[in-house]
């Protein structure tokens, strides 16, 4: 109701200022109003580079991350970390997807649980602490970037969030960062 009232007020103000009809003034006012938009980031498929390094699964990357690190350097670091931790439960899902080539057996978490885990993981990454998230869905590794050492996040996606709901596609790994994931805010209290 308030939005309609504000729009009418703006139209009437323009009408009074320009002498236009209500319809013409309305058209001009609504043409200059910002529209709500949802930002879309198109991930880059780096699976061919991963395959050249002996990895089997799909890997995609945020363009912002690839601007900061070389794809082959990041993927080699990930592969080497997975091969060096063959029995580590924190890297199991990544190993199953990329090294063993099969669907990981991820435990189901509710959205609030997954969100809280992500927030705690983001806090550790912002403190420059590398390693896996509690549930093994995210992994932060230090990588030699184009200009400096970068803490890059690898994430398994999609993940099961509800009992009885099966994922319709094979999970893949995303190269990202805390900022790109939208977890850069620091005002969340756990």
- Are 74 and 175 in contact by the 8 Å Cβ rule? The answer is yes
Q: Which of 17-31, 54-68, 154-168 has the highest mean pLDDT?
A: 54-68
Looking at per-residue pLDDT, the higher value among 183 and 84 belongs to: 84
pLDDT at 160 over 70: no
Confidence at 99, pLDDT banded by 50, 70, 90: very high
Integer Cα distance of 130 and 180 in angstroms: 17
Q: Mind spelling out the 3-state secondary structure of 16-32?
A: HHHCCCHHHHHHHHHHC
Rounded Cα distance, 182 and 175, in Å: 14
Span 33-63, pLDDT tens digits: 666 667 778 899 999 999 999 999 899 999 9
Higher pLDDT, 104 or 167: 104
Residue 2 has pLDDT above 80, yes or no: no
Helix (H, G, I), strand (E, B) or coil at 161: coil
């Amino acid at each position: 109701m308030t939005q309609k009232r504000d729009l009418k007020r703006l139209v009437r103000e323009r009408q009074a200022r320009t002498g236009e009809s209500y319809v013409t003034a309305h058209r001009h006012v609504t043409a200059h109003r910002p529209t709500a938009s949802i930002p879309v980031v198109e991930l880059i498929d780096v699976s061919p580079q991963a395959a050249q390094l002996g990895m089997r699964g799909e890997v995609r990357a945020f363009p912002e991350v690839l601007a900061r690190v070389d794809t082959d350097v990041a993927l080699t670091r990930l592969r080497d970390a997975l091969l060096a931790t063959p029995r580590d439960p924190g890297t199991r899902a990544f190993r199953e997807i990329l090294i063993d080539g099969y669907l990981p057996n991820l435990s189901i978490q509710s959205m609030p649980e997954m969100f809280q885990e992500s927030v705690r993981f983001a806090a550790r990454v912002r403190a420059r602490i590398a390693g896996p998230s509690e549930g093994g869905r995210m992994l932060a590794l230090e990588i030699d970037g184009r200009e400096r050492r970068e803490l890059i996040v690898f994430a398994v996606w999609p993940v099961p969030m509800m009992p009885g709901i099966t994922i319709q596609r094979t999970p893949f790994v995303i190269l990202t960062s805390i900022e790109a994931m939208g977890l850069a805010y620091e005002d969340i209290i756990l």
